[in-house]
Amino acid sequence: MVSYSGCGRPGDDGAEWAERTWRDLSLRERVAQTIIAEVAVPAAWPDSAVDARNRQAIAERVGGVIPRGGNVAELARTLGALPRQGQGQIRLLVVAPPEAGTEAPTIRIEALSPADLRRSGRDAAHTARAEGVHLIWVPNTAGITSYLQGLVGGEVLAAVSAIPAREPGALNGRVPVLLSDRVWLETAELPLLRAGVEAGVGAILLPPVAIPALSGDTLPLPFSPAVASGLLRRDLNFEGLALADLSRAGALVGAYGETDAAVRSLAAGVDLLVGVAEPTAVIDAVVAAVEEGRLQRARVNQASLRVLRTKGRLQLHRDEARSRGSRRLWGRSAGGEHPTQELRTISAQEESAAHLAPMLQHVPAAEAGMSEAALRRVDGVIRGAVEEGLFPGAALAVGRRGRLVRLQGYGHLSREPDAAPVEATTLYDLASLTKVVGTTAAAMALIDDGRLELDAPVQRYIPEWLSTSGNGPQIDITRQRVTVRHLLTHMAGLPAGLAIHARAESPADAMRRVIRAPLTLDPGAVSLYSDLSMILLAEVVSRAAGEPLDRLLARRVFRPMGMASTMYLPPLALHPRIAPSAQTAPDEFLLQGIVHDGTAFRLGGVSGHAGIFSNARDLAAYAQTLLNGGAYGPSAVFSPATVTAFRTRQPGASERALGWDTPAPESSAGSYFSAQSFGHTGFTGTSLWIDPEKELFVVLLTNRTYDRTSLQRMLVLRQRVHEGIARAIVDAPVRRRPGAVDIITPPRAR
């Protein structure tokens, strides 16, 4: 029999605790253990009714929680504000939202050895536990077995889907029907599931589709005993948890209603109902079904005991949490602790809530010293730009003094008739914002870690940099003078770009062409904005770190800030949430989830100058981290000295800081951001500006390349938005920046 045993230790008391605890539970409490309740994050849902629903979910003693409207870090802050569980309570199983995923290297999996994959899985698992997360979602793709083994060894539950998501062949009136035949299932899809079970996955999600060749009927898989009990338990000998998605956005709840879907799923063999919005109603319905004989009590007993045994394997019953993350999750303080933190040791002083750096809280504009009426005029400017055809939609985040006063979307993802509306969680292709959100951040982290030096020559990290021919002996002495600082200030003497997309045959060939690119200017003489400088810097960073850029950023920068939606190469499952950056012709495909920049595409999608996708929520956390001097909550991501050095204008570099821009006379930041401001823009229509003097940041994300809007029109729009926001400040004087040049009529005064 195949079992999953990656959690717990031989001889521990988890199984004994589960049996003892289960015997003491009432029927209602056993039912509650099968529920993973949605818990809304106040930062996204700031009202008392939401808080009451959160409290009710905890009061019902549900089995676990999953965040809605925020990430896991924000969920922990929410739970910290709720009544604390006592000594006799059963700890919650914390489930990562599906969109958070893990850094499973599905795109580059064929290039990694089994040992590398296992190590990557262990890293992801340790980070999850440090964040207080117990169950994470993993795509069940070919070759992922070693990665799953690493996750299981890292003591988290890895959840996979029983069947990969595909387009339905028909509808049965309520849910999609997949018309695969049994031969296809046995040869192409079920082997993936068998491999996952053998690797030790702890949970399998039964998707809300019907597969007649698998179940013999047109019931959704979570309602089918032939699948939940027959396939999983009898055929695959799976001992973990069978899951059903009961979220409000899911197909089951939409087709059958939450309570009916819950009863039918449990009856078929499901153990855990994920994303329940109304746990009290579901518990009432399941208890009634048992008492009326429509659901066997033995089935509830089996499911609830299986959940408790899983918690025992995870050691959730121990009073002393096994990780710093879980200590933060269950601790309470006036500061509102949350679990996201770096995996390296931090001092006792840093663990004190009194020393946590400010985290963003959504508040009325007046609490941040700003005028709501003025901000509404900015809303009108952006909506007007959508109506005028500058872009299909936009997302905006505005924060001041650690408080978030705007986090919302405008318009739609595209001009398609059925396009979804833009939300704060909509992902955008950041284009050149990658330079500061990715490559520059990675350089800052490595400088703090002592693995990179600003004034070190490039050849220290890339020895072949000195040769332009690739043959070794032909050395260009001028290239010896190019330093890491030159790359950050665009003063390396490199050209603006090369025709790599049309000429390179592979990502490796593309990088070789960048490394051999000839200098067109004397190093240090003048600042010439160059994509090649940042592509080369990314290679420097990757070699200095000894790991790929995307993995370094995920581990060292994005996860400590809770930036779960910031990544290169977003998986297909996220594409519906991504604003397309282009449409090539009326009847051709949208460029959605694929990097817009041709050079970044040729480099494999992971590059120093473009390629990152993110949303307004995540970039707001990044901006606040820099305003905080490099810390966010308990996470010290950068040192204050490094943040100050990188945002400071460099001598002889025009308006360049290290990686960042500072305001030129005619700036996209307008005329009212101070001279201490720093920021950057992206070709697709994205921008980020931060003003330490005003303690203000503005994230503006658009897909202007979809409508092919000119850069000049975008410059005007950006100026209007930033000037309107800066002049919305009412508790301090707002003055024009000396030397600023207007190209638009300033917004009227309040």
Per-residue pLDDT reduced to its tens digit, 91-115: 889 888 765 544 444 434 444 567 7
If one counts every other C-beta atom within 10 angstroms of the C-beta of residue 700, the result is: 27
Cα–Cα dist 722/740, whole Å? 13
Q: Is 561 helix (H, G, I), strand (E, B) or coil?
A: helix
* Crossing angle of the two packed helices 279-291 and 297-313, in degrees rounded to 10: 130
List strand residue ranges (DSSP E) for 138-188, in order: 157-161, 170-171, 176-177
Mean pLDDT along residues 16-31 = 93
Long-range Cβ pairs for the range 182-187 (8 Å, 24+): 182/213, 182/214, 184/213, 185/211, 185/213, 185/214
Q: What is the pLDDT of residue 54?
A: 67
Residue 688: in which H helix or E strand, if any?
A: strand 686-691
Q: What are phi and psi of 423, to 5 degrees?
A: -125, 175
Per-residue pLDDT band at 494 (split at 50, 70, 90): very high
Tokens of 375: 């901000």
CA distance 410 to 375: 14
Domain with residues 368-433+565-628+654-726, CATH architecture: 3-Layer(aba) Sandwich (3.40)
Q: Which amino acid is at 487?
A: L
Query: Considering the chain, what percentage of its residues have pLDDT values greater than 90?
Result: 51
536-564 pLDDT, tens digit each: 999 999 999 999 999 999 999 999 898 98
The pLDDT tens digits for 136-172 are 888 766 666 777 787 776 578 888 888 765 544 444 4
Measure the CA–CA gap between 146 and 340, rounded to whole angstroms. 26
Question: Residue 146: what pLDDT?
Answer: 78
Which residue's structure tokens are 């690119």? 517
pLDDT at 739 over 70: yes
pLDDT of residue 261: 95
CATH of 14-162+188-207+220-330, one of 3.30.450.40, 1.10.10.10, 3.20.20.300, 3.40.50.720: 3.20.20.300
Q: Which of 61-75, 148-162, 433-447 has the highest mean pLDDT?
A: 433-447
Mean pLDDT, the chain, integer:
82
**Mean pLDDT to the nearest integer, 336-361:** 37
Q: Is 639 helix (H, G, I), strand (E, B) or coil?
A: coil
Q: How confident is the model at residue 653 (pLDDT cuts 50, 70, 90)?
A: low
Question: What average pLDDT does the segment 647-667 reach?
Answer: 88
The whole-number pLDDT of residue 623 equals 97
Tokens of residue 142, six digits: 């070919």
pLDDT at 503: 84
> Is residue 444 pLDDT above 60, yes or no?
yes
Dmax over Cα atoms in the chain, in whole Å? 86
Rounded to whole angstroms, the Cα distance separating 684 from 276 reads 38
Query: Cα separation of 236 and 127, whole Å?
Result: 30
Supply the pLDDT for residue 153: 66
In terms of DSSP bridges, do strands 241-245 and 203-205 run parallel, antiparallel, or are they unpaired? parallel
CB atoms within 10 A of CB 557: 23
Tell me the two tokens of residue 446. Answer: 């490595």
Residue 46 has pLDDT above 50, yes or no: no
CB 365 within 8 Å of CB 728: yes
pLDDT digits (tens, 9 = 90+) for 168-216: 444 445 778 877 677 777 777 788 888 888 888 899 999 888 888 887 8
Give CA torsion, residues 295, 301, 304, 306, to 10 deg.
-120
Per-residue pLDDT of 672-711, as tens digits, reads 999 999 999 999 999 999 999 999 999 999 999 988 888 8
Of 376, 380, 398, which Cα lies nearest the Cα of 388?
380
Output the pLDDT for position 701: 98
- For the cut 70, the answer to whether the pLDDT of residue 648 exceeds it is yes
3-state secondary structure of 50: helix
Phi, psi (5° rounding) for residue 151?
Answer: -60, -50
Res. 662: pLDDT tops 70: yes
pTM, to two decimals: 0.57
Res 426: pLDDT = 96
* Mean pLDDT value across residues 647-664: 88
Cα–Cα distance, 90 to 317 (Å, whole number): 7
What pLDDT band is residue 248 in, cutting at 50, 70 and 90? confident
Mean pLDDT of 64-78: 67
Q: Which of 247, 252, 259, 303 has the alpha carbon at shortest distance from 283?
A: 259
Outline which parts of the chain fall under CATH 3.20.20.300: 14-162+188-207+220-330
Please give the torsion angle defined by the CA atoms of residues 357, 43, 679 and 599, in that order, rounded to the nearest 10 degrees: 110
SS (H, E, C) 724-741: HHHCCECCCCCCCCCCCC
Which range is least confidently modeled, 165-174, 303-312, 366-375, 609-618?
165-174
* pLDDT tens per residue, range 72-91: 555 555 555 555 444 456 88
Please list the residue range(s) of the chain that carry CATH number 3.40.710.10.
368-433+565-628+654-726
Around Cβ 294, how many Cβ atoms within 10 Å?
A: 13
Q: What is the dihedral of CA 187, 184, 271, 8, to 10 degrees?
A: 20
**Which has the minimum average pLDDT: 641-650, 668-677, 734-743?**
734-743
Q: What is the pLDDT of residue 673?
A: 96
Cα 464 to chain centroid distance, Å, stands at: 35
pLDDT exceeding 70 applies to what percent of the chain?
80
Task: Write the pLDDT tens digit of every residue in 383-412.
Answer: 999 999 999 999 999 999 999 999 999 999
What is the average pLDDT across 479-505?
90
pLDDT for the residue 107? 37
What is the rounded CA–CA span in Å between residue 196 and residue 46?
A: 40
Q: Tell me the C-alpha distance between 238 and 410, whole Å.
A: 46
145-154, 224-233, 287-296, range with the lowest pLDDT: 145-154
Poorest-confidence range of 182-186, 459-463, 636-640, 719-723?
A: 182-186
In contact, 307 and 34? CB cutoff 8 Å: yes
